[in-house]
Amino acid sequence: MHTSSTPRTPAADAGRAGVDPETLRAETRAEYAEVATNPDGALHFHTGRPLATKLGYAASILTSPPDSAIASFAGVDSPLKAGHIR
């Protein structure tokens, strides 16, 4: 449990966990770049229209864009709303 009065940030937490924040940012950028350029590749997370549907995006806005425009969608949602991290 965090008891310090110093505000916590994800980068600071990553540093305390032994992860270099800059390396983490670079790896995250590389992963999303891979999704953008190769949406049909083997990924460890969901993408495209199925993910948008799963996240609750209205079907009415998902039918207009062509498949090529939505295939690399990698999600904009809050993973924390799914529950507590254990």
Written as tens digits, the pLDDT of the chain (86 aa) is: 445 555 555 555 655 678 888 998 899 889 888 888 887 778 778 888 988 998 888 988 888 889 888 888 887 666 666 666 66
56 and 73 together in one domain: yes
Under DSSP, the state recorded for 18 is T
25 and 51 together in one domain: no
- Residue partners of 39: CB distance under 8 A and separation at least 6: 47, 48, 71, 72
56 and 85 together in one domain: yes
Cα–Cα distance measured from residue 77 to residue 8, given in angstroms and rounded to the nearest whole number: 21
Q: What is the pLDDT of residue 2?
A: 47
pTM comes to 0.52
Count of domains observed in the chain: 2
Q: What is the pLDDT of residue 23?
A: 92
Note down the domain range covering 63.
43-86
32 and 66 together in one domain: no
Q: What is the pLDDT of residue 28?
A: 87
Q: Is residue 15 within 8 Å of residue 21, measured between CB atoms?
A: yes
3 and 29 together in one domain: yes
> Tokens 């008891």 appear where?
3
